[in-house]
Chains A and B, each alone.
Chain A
């Protein structure tokens, strides 16, 4: 199975407020808040760590959750944010996060 890589879009604004990440897409001013688990995935979206590794290291290690369930939830979350242009998804590592 190929790996999935995720990176934050440069079009967004984001800030942590009381453990939850606020995210706004400047293109359409859509506003989201991410819960603690989603925030952990978001923070780890560096473009070169596979999603599977993020789930294993950042989610299953820190939260009480079944690995299969965590992986499925993470994939759904990534698909949702990707559809809003907030996360970018690729099956290859991104070349340089800062350049996006």
Chain B
């Protein structure tokens, strides 16, 4: 306890033109502790990580590493001190192998030549030791996001890292991958590595961390001992909202059937039957790779089903593609909104209108007035926070980006919304907004398919919950008829 801090921040500021990302932050990390940092999106967590890893320079303030003032001007300098990070959106090279990524920037060479085999062997040894069961020779792009996250962690572990920051590492991980990651974190902790753990999932913080610091609007609110605090207190620090409100749900009467799927099979799933009615949320729970995304892709027409029937609003959908699905009123809000949902370097208004340009371009010419009105309506309805319609989608927070993706399809007037991990990496306040949006959709008579790997979320929000395991639908429950442990064990298959 009386150890001097391993890393200390004094009055650290980061400002961009007109705004502060960090304000006078004072933080001290004790050697060997697991220190959690929580805060809503935009609270400054990412900025803090970037400054500590040398990815961006701070505007002012002092940082001491083991008592010495340091500049932390480049990633190389941070790494030389033993400071490294595992990022939420995996920052590795998809075209290189697992081994090449693990040793990137740190290659083993002899006479200037790479020692390929030695590196693959060393990487494999690390992966095996950590219990990952990943082939070191595989290309990174062939792994799931969860596996890539494990590679990123293994990479940090091989570099003699003394201070390791995890930024939302479990956002895209399955339960099983999360367990693996936690075992690894505890192991690094035992080896004396100081760990900074950032997550929106508060229960993880109570499992792992010793102390927790809360950031709000770029400033430090408090640092607390985990043993002496509660989720309620942390959430109050973060947002001053009640925890009960978070999984927001309204009682909306169930309407006519929208989607009926009978014995559908396709790539990655087999023999799935389920129905979605107007006004209900149908949750699909399972581990990553259980076939949930594959199933909805077939419903959406992205892949072809090989057997079975799909009826949508009473009419058969067969051999359809995405365009037909969209025209009939099915919307898919994809898992990776940055890659699949948005044109990041185009404006908010442009993104919102993308599916409806046909409607607002009579005779091929875009009607600028209609374009503006259509975007303005969604921005107001969804409470999208953007400087203007022309603000680039890339400049918005994750939650606001998610709202744009949803707004796109609202604009288009879809009836069935498929959400694939809609709240991954989204802060508590935005989550609430997204759930309220669900309610608004349901009130309009839409149906929702919700895919989530976060059990409390699907559990609380679904009117009917289906559990997938290895490509099959293994169990179905009405809201509140099964407990969470049952559902989890059905998904894992124990």
A-B complex is real = no
Using CB atoms and an 8 Å cutoff, list the residues of chain A in contact with chain B.
Answer: none
Using CB atoms and an 8 Å cutoff, list the residues of chain B in contact with chain A.
Answer: none
